[in-house]
């Protein structure tokens, strides 16, 4: 008998499958292949369309399990927790991975607590241990200064959240087939002491943790008006504007843009740190980025130790020049 | 009303704070401090207490070595009423499941409060799992990524920072909230607060006091095992380009554009 299935917890927003789900498929498919078992996506929401659910199969799942109820339309801690628990108890997957998003980081510890499962947070590497078949989960800790590999030898399912953008989304291929199961949870699993009463979309058009390119604004910008220079560069690179703590404390950018220990951890493909000196706390939030470029007038700034290329000079000259040259390069 | 704030002692990383009494910077090299986000959780509790019409008691609860009384004492200097430390060799090596189970056992002993507050994550382990996992053991709704919280009739209203915006939720009855930096600006300890904190007792509880067995706490009971720890090097050999004058700047910028092309980023 083949081992029990590998599950991913896919996410949806307003009835559309969230992109981070496809990154989970990349991870899950690899693990399922190594274990010689099926990959199943669990998705909680309110009556998603077959076409939408099929995208999960097109990108590599063998099965989609959709828990559907109006109460599951938006994340609510209790119904999400109870429904996911019920499905796990019923079907006993071997592995369950979720994205380390606000949803994944909330529901997974609740479920793992109740089921006494091992859970590893914010992993950047997942693989199967050759002899035991156990899931090896590798994650950064202490601000990225330490990497730890963790396993759950006995308890099942083996659970992990995965850092968004730590892998590519699985591509879609036509002609893949799979099973779509819809499950209507009973009312007692949908009870909630929490009500969502309001939602205000973020002011910045793109969230920094979802962006492939982040332009970080530091104290070197001197005043709020100058942030526009970073926005222009972000525009030509389809990126988002992040900030050091100093820039947020000065009110130049809102707190959701803050990168670092007391803000967000990002690992985009490209991180351009401008006028950011690179405190330990800031580095903790971005040092796992794929390519780092630093622009700073202080040639001794610590950020240079983490950058592939560092420009020692005046950001007010360099930033517009870089923006113009990238725009020109894209044209040609 | 009763509020329990969970705090953790973590290694200090370049943190500096001002001592209000002396006006000097406190810099204790390589010592332990309250996890930075927990200070925001403490402040939320203090603000709720100050705004409450009823009497309100704030308890800080921590699990750690005997030396962790220090961070509890710091919390009491800020205005927290009581400190409770869970300290026992039996707890050593607990993963997030066992830590949450043990802390939850203590909360049950202390009596279920109206609100449990904690920081979203600690700067050492960075899991952010212990708080939410406690919700499972205490049957409390977990309100995570909280950027503000206030008391309303019969419960709480909280604002949550999500990936794509801010969500407001209302909770009926008790809740467990994991807060972000934005939730409140921590106050500084006062001289009087410090003096008062020294006179207060800190309750230390063992596994036996909690009635928690070795099957549920400590390294052996933990579902997860650390297989290995290694130090990654993010240090890069930086190609540092001088860009002080216009000619240098032009050359340096061209080099960046070239790199971005090579990497397929443009």
A262 band by pLDDT with thresholds 50, 70 and 90: confident
H-run or E-run covering B121: none
- Cβ–Cβ gap A195/B170 under 8 Å: yes
Model pLDDT for residues A140-172, shown as the tens digit of each residue: 877 777 789 999 999 999 999 999 888 889 999
Strands A194-201 and A135-141: unpaired
SS3 B181: helix
CA–CA distance, A182 with A43 (Å, rounded to integer) = 10
CA A177 to chain B, closest CA, distance in angstroms equals: 32
Domain B2-210 has CATH 3.30.70.270: no
| DSSP letter assigned to residue B187 | P
Angle among Cα A196, A200, A206 to the nearest 5 degrees reads 125
Instruction: Mark B192-219 as b/e (b = at least 16 C-beta within 10 Å).
Output: ebbeebeeeebbbbebeebebeeebbbe
CATH class of A208-331: alpha beta
The strand order across the sheet containing A146-151 reads A125-128, A135-141, A146-151, B225-230
Kindly report the number of other CB atoms within 10 A of residue B92's CB atom: 12
Q: Where are the domains of chain B?
A: 2-210, 236-266
| Residue where the block lists tokens 């001592």 | B19
The token pair at B116 is 């449990």
User: B172 to chain A: which residues are within 8 Å by CB?
Assistant: 193-194
Question: What is the predicted ipTM?
Answer: 0.89
CA–CA distance, A278 with B238 (Å, rounded to integer) = 14
User: A202 to chain B: which residues are within 8 Å by CB?
Assistant: 164-166
Q: Where are the domains of chain A?
A: 6-189, 208-331
User: B94 to chain A: which residues are within 8 Å by CB?
Assistant: none
pTM score: 0.90
CA–CA distance, A255 with A147 (Å, rounded to integer) = 27
Residues in chain A, how many?
332
Identify the architecture of domain A6-189 in CATH: 3-Layer(aba) Sandwich (3.40)
Same fold, A6-189 and A208-331: yes
CA–CA distance, B214 with B221 (Å, rounded to integer) = 7
User: B261 to chain A: which residues are within 8 Å by CB?
Assistant: 329
Average pLDDT over residues A79-95: 98
- Taking a C-beta distance cutoff of 8 angstroms, is the pair B136, A81 a contact? yes
CA–CA distance, B119 with A299 (Å, rounded to integer) = 36
Q: Is the dihedral of CA A70, A75, A76, A81 positive or negative?
A: positive
CA B128 to chain A, closest CA, distance in angstroms equals: 7
CA–CA distance, A44 with A47 (Å, rounded to integer) = 9
| Residue where the block lists tokens 């909690």 | B210
Backbone φ, ψ for residue A7 (5° rounding): -115, 145
- Cβ–Cβ gap A309/B243 under 8 Å: no
CA–CA distance, A215 with A217 (Å, rounded to integer) = 7
- Give the B window 112-171 contacts with A, CB below 8 Å: 123-137, 141-145, 147, 155, 157, 160-171
- Looking at residue B84, its pLDDT comes to 98
- Cβ–Cβ gap A147/B229 under 8 Å: yes
- Give the B window 182-241 contacts with A, CB below 8 Å: 182, 222-232, 234-236, 238-241
Instruction: Mark A257-268 as b/e (b = at least 16 C-beta within 10 Å).
Output: bbbbbbbbbbbb
| DSSP letter assigned to residue A262 | T
- Looking at residue A147, its pLDDT comes to 86
- Taking a C-beta distance cutoff of 8 angstroms, is the pair B211, B104 a contact? no
Backbone φ, ψ for residue B211 (5° rounding): 70, 30
Low-confidence ranges of chain B (pLDDT < 70): 13-30
CA B108 to chain A, closest CA, distance in angstroms equals: 16
**What mean pLDDT, rounded, does chain A reach?**
95
- Cβ–Cβ gap A119/B97 under 8 Å: yes
């Amino acid at each position: 008998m083949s081992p029990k299935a590998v599950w991913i917890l896919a996410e949806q927003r307003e009835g559309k499958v969230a992109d981070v789900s496809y990154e989970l498929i990349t991870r899950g498919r690899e693990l399922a292949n190594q274990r010689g078992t099926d990959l199943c996506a669990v998705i909680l929401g309110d009556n998603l369309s077959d076409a939408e659910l099929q995208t999960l199969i097109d990108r590599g799942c063998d099965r989609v399990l959709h828990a559907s109820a109006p109460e599951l339309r938006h994340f609510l801690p209790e119904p999400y927790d109870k429904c996911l628990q019920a499905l796990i108890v019923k079907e006993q997957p071997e592995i369950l991975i979720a994205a380390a998003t606000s949803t994944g980081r909330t529901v997974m510890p609740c479920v793992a607590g109740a089921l006494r499962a091992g859970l590893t947070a914010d992993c950047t590497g997942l693989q199967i241990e050759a002899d035991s078949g156990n899931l090896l989960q590798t994650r950064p800790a202490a601000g990225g200064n330490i990497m730890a590999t963790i396993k759950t030898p006995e308890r099942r399912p083996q659970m992990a959240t995965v850092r968004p953008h730590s892998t590519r989304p699985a591509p879609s291929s036509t002609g893949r087939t799979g099973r779509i199961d819809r499950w209507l949870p009973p009312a007692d699993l949908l009870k909630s002491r929490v009500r969502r009463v309001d939602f205000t979309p973020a002011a910045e058009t793109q969230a920094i943790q979802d962006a492939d390119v982040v332009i970080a604004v530091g104290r070197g910008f001197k005043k709020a008006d100058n942030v526009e220079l970073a926005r222009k560069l972000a525009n030509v690179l389809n990126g988002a504007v992040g900030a050091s703590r100093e820039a947020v404390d000065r009110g130049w950018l809102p707190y959701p843009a803050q990168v670092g220990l007391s803000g967000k951890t990002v690992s985009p493909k490209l991180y351009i740190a401008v006028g950011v000196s690179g405190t330990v706390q800031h580095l903790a939030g971005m040092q796992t980025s794929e390519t780092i470029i630093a622009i700073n007038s202080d040639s001794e700034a610590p950020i240079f130790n983490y950058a592939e290329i560092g420009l020692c000079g005046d950001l007010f000259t360099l930033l517009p020049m870089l923006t113009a040259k990238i725009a020109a390069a894209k044209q040609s | 009303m009763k509020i329990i704030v969970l705090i953790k002692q973590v290694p200090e990383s370049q943190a500096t704070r001002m001592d209000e009494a002396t006006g000097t910077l406190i810099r204790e090299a390589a010592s332990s401090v309250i996890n930075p986000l927990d200070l925001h959780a403490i402040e939320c509790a203090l603000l709720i207490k100050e705004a409450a019409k009823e009497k309100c008691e704030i308890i800080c609860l921590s699990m750690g070595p005997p030396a962790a009384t220090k961070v509890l004492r710091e919390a009491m200097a800020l205005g927290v009423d009581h400190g409770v430390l869970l300290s026992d060799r039996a707890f050593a090596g607990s993963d997030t499941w066992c830590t949450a189970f043990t802390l939850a056992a203590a909360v049950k002993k202390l009596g279920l409060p109206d609100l449990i507050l904690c920081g979203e994550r600690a700067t050492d382990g960075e899991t952010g799992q212990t708080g939410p996992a406690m919700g499972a053991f205490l049957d409390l709704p977990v309100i995570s990524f909280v950027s503000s919280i206030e008391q309303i009739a019969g419960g709480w209203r909280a604002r949550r920072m999500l990936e794509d915006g801010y969500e407001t939720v209302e909770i009926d009855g008790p809740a467990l909230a994991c807060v972000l930096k934005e939730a409140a600006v921590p106050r500084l300890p006062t001289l009087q607060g410090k003096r008062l904190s020294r006179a207060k007792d800190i309750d230390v509880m063992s596994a036996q006091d909690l009635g928690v067995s070795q099957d549920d706490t400590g390294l052996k009971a933990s579902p997860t095992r650390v297989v290995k720890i290694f130090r990654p090097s993010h240090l890069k050999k930086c190609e540092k380009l001088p860009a002080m004058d216009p000619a240098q700047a032009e050359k340096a910028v061209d080099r960046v554009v070239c790199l971005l092309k090579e990497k397929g980023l443009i």
